Structure 1
Amino acid sequence: MMTEESETLELYNLHYSDLMALSSSAHHLPTQYKNIQSLIMKNLGPSGPGLLAITGVPNSSHLRRTLLSMAPNLALLTNQDHRKRLLKDHGLGSDVPLKNIDRTVSPFTMQLKYNLKPDVSSICKTNHSDTEGYNSEMVSQCEFKNLGNMFKDLGNCMIELGLRLARVCDKIIGGNELEQSLLESCSAKGRLIHYHSVLDNLILQGTRSTTKKTETSCDIYSDLWQQWHYDYGVFTILTSPMFMLGLENCGSSQPCDGKECPSPSGHTYLQIFDPNKNSVVTVKADSESFIVQVGESGDVLSKGKLRATLHSVCRPKNFERLSRETFVVFLQPSWSKRLYLYDFSVESSSSNGEDSRICDEENRSQKPSSDIGKLVPPLCDRLKNGMTFAEFSRETTKQYYGSSGLQSKR
């Protein structure tokens, strides 16, 4: 759990132009790029946090702001049939029951087919002319116009960033395992997420009173928007979050139009567990950056040269009107890709020997560095040697959220 004294991690910023240079086919790079390669591995490797930020991506700012601004109203539509038609028209779905008025997040999902182009700028600069000049005020006028197109455009922009970073990591590590595993997949999952404010849930429940906690809404007062977990793909690409402040006097039957506001703490409310420090660290990133996290498949495919990030999303205290918006793309191997375990205790243990991924082969149990580890099913219990990615993803979901999963009642 985050406290006021929690350490803040300011992410290493990899500039888009440097990513382009590093991922080019040039074999001989100036010395400055060798230094950048070292910094990438320092941050994504076993001695680092397992994440970094990509900055300076051209033509992405308006697209990000517009899409994220749509999330609150889409989440708080009270007419279920209208939302169902809207999602169908734009090719979207959801992986949580949207009829559940006590839900703490509302995710909207799409399977994104790769749209490979020479550079990210050509992807982010969309073909529909009325999107480039979009801003949050225009969203209220034309509501969800071009929702599906913007979802695809921003998603393809982020896919290309992930593919290029995979190529860079392959060059450093040797081989082409990471990029090839992603290219074989040909698709990624996009997710637009609205993290509910307390006020949002009270609106959905038909009351605006914040003075009493009801039995049905106890979860919305949790100190976490999202519980501790590892992503199980290769890379997760996230936009820096947008924070929205809902209006106190909005009606209970209508979406609560609010306004964008800065983070109350100055950080993203994404928090990671750092096994090297045996502590929780909160993440700070530039508001226009894209955050890249390493997933468990990336950890395994790189044989521990990259480190998966144990993370959660915490709620700000005493901000009952504050919601959080973000867009996420999960880059995964093909479902048929086979994954092979390596010796974690040799390849990926941290300097103090306390890595939350290590398995004790005698009792097949994880050695958690803290109580947080008790919420996470051990990798060695979810991934058997030679398992396909499809089998691994099913087993992971089952052990986290199944009827007897570690987080089934959380």
Structure 2
Amino acid sequence: MMEEDETLELYDLHYSDLMALSSSDHKLPLTSENMEYLESVKIAIMKNLGPSGPGLLAITGVPNASILRRTLLPMARKLALLDNEDRKLVLKDHGLGSDVPLKNIDRTVSPFAMQLRYDRDPYVNSLRNSNHSPIEHHGSDVGSLNEFKNLGNTFKDLGNCMMELGLHLARVCDKIIGGHELEQCLLESRSAKGRLIHYHSILDNRILQTQSLKDTRHKSKKIAKTNHDHSDLWQQWHYDYGVFTVLTAPMLVVPENSGSCQSCDEKECPFSSGHTCLQILYPVTNSVKMVKASSGSFIVQVGESGDVLSKGKLRATLHSVCRPKNMENVSRETFVVFLQPAWSKKLSVYDFSVKDSSSNGGCSRICDEESECAKSSSDIDKLVPPLCDRLKDGMTYAEFSRETTKQYYGSSGLQSKR
């Protein structure tokens, strides 16, 4: 178990409070007591998302969301371990793709992505007023692939719910900060990226290796070499570069038996106790902390564009995803929605209100802050390219996105070999 000072219990923002704060038309008159309470919630939001906070919080009590989480997340592992040809059929049927080579049997993460579109009224969420009733899918139902028949619909339903949460939080932050920058830039983008992600256990990679060897024997006698060097991290240290990232509290699962079988029954780990395997570099103490969140919550963290567009009043979260120690058969399932500005949105480093006369303006403050945080770990320092090296004044979000990806993962990027 982790020590108490190594964990971070997220602030829980209740869905009803989020709705009350974002609403411009209160149906019931607010008493002075209610107004005082909502004011305290505003203060708590900024304390957690602002410059002196961790840059993330949890949203709890979202109606009808738990069933979607329980339905969608277990599909991540099943998809990851499917035969390549079967997986292609499923992904094509449901309009999903992937941004990693899924034939690589040494991969530690299998993401399945879809571009999500805002409806005409993105704040109208049908989940609020009705129980989830999946629409029948009439695509491929060959054998066991039939278990994925509602994959696309569930993906979109949960994604739309999470987009709505992000939009409401953006509206609340705008009210507190002043202006409409965050909400407006999300609405102008008209879309968000959803990713269903399976973080592989070591057992999963053994299963993939066994499948590969079977395929190899059919095609040739040559046996593929595999890399068994498993890092302590599923995902290296990084900042997200959108406005907000909204993610389900992850599901940590372990097969009922440890045989090399893709269809092993799974169960959620009882020992997880709210640990998410998400860890952040906590600016207050300049130390690494493990994030804890309840299973029914959604985690919202600030991205670098949110930091810039809010003129530094929100703080981007430096984070990574770590493997549970001594638990080689545990995998991690989660669903993430990245809320971002329109690709043409221009970002300005000069939006930061700082007393600085240098030619880099506010960007120098960002570099100073990142350098201070990086001092707590030389490894983190080597893996995270400074924001001022990736963002130049007047860049569009598309240009910033390309430069960030290049410096993290390009041929000479800081994480290109990982």
TM-score by structure 1 length? Answer: 0.87
Q: Is the 8 A contact 2:364 2:388 kept in 1?
A: no
Q: Which position in structure 1 is the counterpart of 2:49?
A: 44
The Cα offsets for residues 53-98 of structure 1, whole Å up to 9 and x where unpaired, read as 00000011101111001111111012x1111111010000001000
Partners of 1:156 and 1:173 in 2: how far apart? 26
User: For residues 402 and 3 of structure 1, do their structure 2 counterparts lie closer, same or farther at Cα, with a shift above 3 Å needed?
Assistant: farther
The alpha-carbon deviation at position 118 of structure 1 amounts to 7.4
Q: Which position in structure 2 is the counterpart of 1:224?
A: 233
Q: Is the 8 A contact 2:274 2:294 kept in 1?
A: no
Matched, 1:184 2:188: yes
- Give percent identity, aligned residues only: 74
Matched, 1:307 2:315: yes
Q: How does 1:252-401 map to 2 (within 5 A)?
A: 252=261, 254-264=262-272, 266-342=274-350, 346=354, 358-359=366-367, 366=371, 368-370=374-376, 371=378, 372-401=380-409
Q: Which position in structure 1 is the counterpart of 2:199?
A: 195
User: For residues 50 and 127 of structure 1, do their structure 2 counterparts lie closer, same or farther at Cα, with a shift above 3 Å needed?
Assistant: same
Partners of 2:109 and 2:291 in 1: how far apart? 20
The Cα offsets for residues 102-132 of structure 1, whole Å up to 9 and x where unpaired, read as 0001000000001255756524667873479
Local SS of the residue matching 2:210? coil
Q: Which position in structure 2 is the counterpart of 1:113?
A: 117
Q: How does 1:195-214 map to 2 (within 5 A)?
A: 195-206=199-210
Partners of 2:169 and 2:296 in 1: how far apart? 18
1:301 partner amino acid? L
1:250 partner amino acid? G
The alpha-carbon deviation at position 396 of structure 1 amounts to 0.2
Partners of 1:193 and 1:275 in 2: how far apart? 27
Local SS of the residue matching 1:166? helix
User: For residues 261 and 3 of structure 1, do their structure 2 counterparts lie closer, same or farther at Cα, with a shift above 3 Å needed?
Assistant: closer
The alpha-carbon deviation at position 206 of structure 1 amounts to 1.0
Partners of 1:64 and 1:117 in 2: how far apart? 23
Name which one, 1 or 2, has greater alpha-carbon Rg: 2
Partners of 1:331 and 1:57 in 2: how far apart? 18
User: For residues 263 and 122 of structure 1, do their structure 2 counterparts lie closer, same or farther at Cα, with a shift above 3 Å needed?
Assistant: farther
Partners of 2:337 and 2:66 in 1: how far apart? 17
Q: Is the 8 A contact 1:105 1:193 kept in 2?
A: yes
Q: Is the 8 A contact 2:346 2:396 kept in 1?
A: yes
Partners of 1:307 and 1:146 in 2: how far apart? 37
Q: Which position in structure 1 is the counterpart of 2:10?
A: 11
Partners of 2:226 and 2:364 in 1: how far apart? 34
Long gaps (5+) in structure 2: 137-143, 212-223, 357-362
Q: How does 1:26-175 map to 2 (within 5 A)?
A: 26=25, 30-78=35-83, 80-115=84-119, 117=121, 122-123=126-127, 129-130=133-134, 142-175=146-179
User: For residues 251 and 237 of structure 1, do their structure 2 counterparts lie closer, same or farther at Cα, with a shift above 3 Å needed?
Assistant: same
Q: Which position in structure 1 is the counterpart of 2:219?
A: none
1:77 partner amino acid? L
TM-score by structure 2 length? Answer: 0.85
Q: Is the 8 A contact 2:343 2:398 kept in 1?
A: yes
2:80 partner amino acid? A
Q: Which position in structure 2 is the counterpart of 1:234?
A: 243
2:413 partner amino acid? G
Local SS of the residue matching 1:346? coil
Partners of 1:389 and 1:276 in 2: how far apart? 29
Q: Which position in structure 2 is the counterpart of 1:136?
A: none
Partners of 2:4 and 2:11 in 1: how far apart? 22
Partners of 1:310 and 1:26 in 2: how far apart? 36
The alpha-carbon deviation at position 343 of structure 1 amounts to 7.4
The alpha-carbon deviation at position 275 of structure 1 amounts to 2.4
Long gaps (5+) in structure 1: 133-139, 208-213, 349-354
The alpha-carbon deviation at position 244 of structure 1 amounts to 1.0
User: For residues 279 and 345 of structure 1, do their structure 2 counterparts lie closer, same or farther at Cα, with a shift above 3 Å needed?
Assistant: farther
Local SS of the residue matching 1:17? helix
User: For residues 146 and 250 of structure 1, do their structure 2 counterparts lie closer, same or farther at Cα, with a shift above 3 Å needed?
Assistant: same
Partners of 2:109 and 2:122 in 1: how far apart? 35
Local SS of the residue matching 1:153? helix
